[in-house]
Amino acid sequence: MQTRSQQFLQSEIQSRLVVPHAKGGGKSRPHSRHKHSRPAPLFSAGETVRETGIYEVIHDRAHRSVHEVVMLSSDAFPACDSCGAQVRFRLVRTAPYIFQDEDFEESP
């Protein structure tokens, strides 16, 4: 559960997000926001990340409050140093990795 200050900070960040226009006539893939849908599934340590994006980290026995991290597709969700494989991850929203964007890819 988020504190009021965490909720305020998250709403401030979301209200200031600017979505850049994509090349190719604006045919970019929309980023998911799981606001109005059912809760996103939970993923476990060791599972493969299917979509690059921002994930909530939910620790076992709440030894640490819920926090957000960026995970890249094809990486594995890591175990926590304190709660091990009992840690869970929930996709908040997809977001592209900047260096996989055509405007920011490194030149060969």
Does 58 fall in a domain? yes
Number of domains, the chain: 1
Does 104 fall in a domain? no
Whole-angstrom CA distances from 89 to 11, 12, 48, 95, 107 are 20, 23, 11, 16, 33
Does 107 fall in a domain? no
Does 9 fall in a domain? no
Does 47 fall in a domain? yes
State pTM to two decimals: 0.63
Residue 76, both tokens = 């594995």
Does 31 fall in a domain? no
* Domain span holding position 84: 39-97
Does 106 fall in a domain? no
Residue pair 91/51 in contact by the 8 Å Cβ criterion: yes
Tens digit of pLDDT at every position of the chain (108 positions)? 555 555 555 555 555 444 444 444 444 445 555 455 678 899 999 999 999 999 999 999 989 999 999 999 999 999 999 999 999 999 999 998 898 888 987 776
Does 52 fall in a domain? yes
Residue pair 91/52 in contact by the 8 Å Cβ criterion: no
